[in-house]
Amino acid sequence: MVDAIDFHPNKIEGNVDTEYSFPLIDGVSLLREDSPSWIREMVVNPFTIKSYDEKQNPVIDYLQGVNVLQYMQPIKLAEQPPRYRVKLSPNSCGYKVDNDQVIGICQQ
């Protein structure tokens, strides 16, 4: 671990500008891509992994396209940092630490 810090993030709601990857889940609406350096990527949904065996595991799920999440991923370019504006509904969360804003899933 390098430079681990203890912090308390502030929850944010409504419109959020982020420079970091975020899940395309219910409650996250895409508003504006402020830079053309974003891609959509399918990833294994970490919230649905229950077991790992030969017949049921995250690798098979990924190859079959089940239990996956779509993420928006920034491509960091020297000319312009990536930035995306999204709107958050109550079942999604944004957190701010210093000037960084990240988006995720609320744990109810």
Question: Structural domains in the chain?
Answer: 10-105 (3.30.70.3120)
Confidence at 108, pLDDT banded by 50, 70, 90? low
DSSP secondary structure letter of residue 82: -
What is the reported pTM?
A: 0.77
Give the residue ranges of DSSP H helices in the chain. 58-64
Q: Identify the pLDDT of residue 61.
A: 86
Tally Cβ neighbours within 10 Å of residue 18. Answer: 19
Q: Identify the pLDDT of residue 11.
A: 83
1 has pLDDT over 70: no
Q: Choose between 5 and 82: higher pLDDT.
A: 82
64 has pLDDT over 60: yes
What sign does the dihedral 46-51-52-55 (CA atoms) show? negative
4 has pLDDT over 90: no
